[in-house]
């Protein structure tokens, strides 16, 4: 997949594409039909895999306009094409929102796994940088101006903390299945079980819900049609990632300016060129990462607005607004994660330039130390004026190593 409006989109591969969503919806319907058959609510199951292919996406998309979502058109095709008596039982007891919500959770699970893989790579790269440069003195900058001395190791430890916090947020997200029927009561499924002579229809349906969720490796949950914390939490965790990546990309872009020259992005053939200026080597990875960091929060805010307006037992538009928003946020987060991993793996650190800048600015960088000494009535010492920097690096590195050990 490619997108001229979002350079690098192909890095997200098949994640949250129309084809992958079609396959995920088929998996959800299959899991539910199989569960009904095992609970003896349906007489038998039927095979749905491959009955509607990616080449029919345009047809399904056009049909979706009539009902507001693609599920009714898909259900009609599955019932028409599936073999045997189980075909008639496709989608019985479910509603469109069950299929869409659960299939989106499946797609987002793949996104979470991919982003966490990238974050593990980033943690390793950042830990190595923090360790290697814990004593590399640089000029600290606040409000764009020189402030006090710090170390590049401490700066990268700060980047690392942001990535670790974002990884923790992703690890906390819940991935529940959604099986609730027309209004979250599963009344149709219970009635079908009763009409089929099942001894305890409510228990049978509850078992079928747990069975279907288990088949999809999702957490069983009570229906959550208008409680949208599943998607807002995942959206927020992805934005925590783009926040962390955007922060470090901003530093890299600044420190790679020719007049500073302390950092440089990894070199790659053709990357960073200009259409008119042959001398330029633009920090393209940082630029593209910052692009994602600038746009992701607005997408997450759309999910929160949709959650806040999710009225009745199914929202009239708020639910529909989530789908493309989830797709864009998820794919953009994956692309930004990939760009960040590449940036950190090959980041070029000019230690000599850092040292030269700090030495040239030393009187200003140590002005605070002289001010503190004058206030306290003593003489300023001649150490590096780095305070607790080394201890902070040690603590962050310990956290990073624990994170890597836990996800190995």
Distance set, CA 339 to CA 118, 284, 294 (Å): 9, 10, 15
DSSP labels, 244-264: HHHHHHHHHHHHTSTTT-SEE
| Residue that has been written with the tokens 């509603």 in this structure | 95
Distance set, CA 215 to CA 202, 209, 218, 245 (Å): 20, 10, 8, 35
Are 111 and 333 within 8 A, CB to CB?
Answer: yes
Structure confidence by residue, pLDDT tens digits, 183-194:
999 999 999 999
Structure confidence by residue, pLDDT tens digits, 175-231:
999 999 999 999 999 999 999 999 999 999 999 999 999 999 999 999 999 999 999
Domains in the chain, please, with CATH? Answer: 10-93+186-222 (1.10.275), 96-177+223-408 (1.20.200.10)
Structure confidence by residue, pLDDT tens digits, 153-174:
999 999 999 999 999 999 999 9
d(CA 368, CA 274): 42
DSSP labels, 177-220: -----TTSS-HHHHHHHHHTT-SSHHHHHHHHHHHHHHHTT-B-
Mean pLDDT of the chain: 95
What residues are annotated to the active site? Answer: 274, 314
Task: For residues 262-285, give the mean pLDDT.
Answer: 77
pLDDT at position 274 over 60? no
Structure confidence by residue, pLDDT tens digits, 10-60:
999 999 999 999 999 999 999 999 999 999 999 999 999 999 999 999 999
pLDDT at 325: 98
| Residue 211 structure tokens | 């069975």
d(CA 221, CA 176): 6
d(CA 31, CA 106): 12
Structure confidence by residue, pLDDT tens digits, 284-315:
999 999 999 999 999 999 999 999 999 999 99
pTM value surpassing 0.75: yes
Are 51 and 81 within 8 A, CB to CB?
Answer: yes
pLDDT at 64: 98
d(CA 91, CA 46): 11
Least trusted range by pLDDT, from 74-88, 341-355, 377-391: 377-391
Rg value, the chain, Cα? 27
pLDDT at 253: 97
């Amino acid at each position: 997949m490619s997108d001229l409006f979002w350079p690098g989109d192909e890095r997200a591969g098949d994640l949250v594409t129309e084809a992958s969503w079609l396959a995920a919806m088929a998996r959800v319907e299959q899991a539910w039909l199989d569960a009904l058959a095992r609970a003896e609510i349906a007489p038998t199951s039927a095979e749905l895999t491959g009955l509607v292919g990616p080449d029919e996406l345009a047809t399904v998309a056009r049909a979706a306009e009539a009902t507001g979502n693609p599920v009714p058109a898909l259900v009609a095709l599955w019932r028409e094409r599936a073999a045997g008596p189980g075909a008639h039982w496709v989608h019985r007891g479910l509603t469109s929102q069950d299929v869409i919500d659960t299939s989106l959770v499946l797609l987002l699970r793949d996104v979470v796994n991919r982003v966490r893989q990238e974050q593990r790579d980033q943690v390793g790269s950042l830990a190595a940088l923090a360790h290697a440069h814990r004593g590399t003195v640089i000029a600290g900058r606040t409000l764009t101006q020189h402030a006090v001395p710090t170390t590049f190791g401490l700066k990268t430890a700060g980047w690392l903390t942001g990535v670790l916090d974002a990884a923790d947020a992703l690890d906390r997200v819940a991935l529940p299945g959604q099986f609730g029927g027309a209004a979250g009561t599963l009344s149709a499924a219970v009635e079908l079980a009763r009409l089929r002579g099942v001894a305890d229809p409510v228990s049978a349906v509850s078992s079928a819900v747990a069975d279907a969720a288990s088949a999809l490796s999702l957490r069983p949950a009570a229906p959550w049609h208008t409680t949208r914390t599943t998607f807002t939490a995942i959206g927020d965790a992805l934005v925590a990632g783009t926040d962390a990546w955007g922060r470090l990309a901003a530093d890299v872009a600044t420190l790679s300016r020719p007049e500073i020259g302390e950092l440089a992005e990894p070199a790659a053939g053709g990357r960073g060129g200009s259409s008119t200026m042959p001398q330029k080597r633009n920090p393209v990875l940082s630029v593209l990462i910052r692009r994602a960091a600038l746009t992701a929060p607005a997408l997450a805010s759309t999910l929160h607005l949709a959650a806040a307006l999710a009225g009745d037992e199914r929202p009239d538009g708020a639910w529909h607004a989530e789908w493309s928003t989830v797709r864009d946020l998820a794919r953009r987060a994956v692309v930004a994660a990939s760009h960040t991993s590449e940036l950190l793996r090959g980041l070029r650190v000019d230690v000599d330039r850092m040292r030269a800048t700090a030495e040239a600015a030393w009187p200003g960088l140590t002005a605070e130390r002289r001010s503190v000494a004058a206030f306290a009535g003593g003489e300023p010492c001649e150490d590096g004026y780095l305070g607790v920097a080394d201890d902070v690096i040690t603590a962050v590195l310990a956290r990073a190593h624990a994170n890597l050990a836990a996800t190995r």
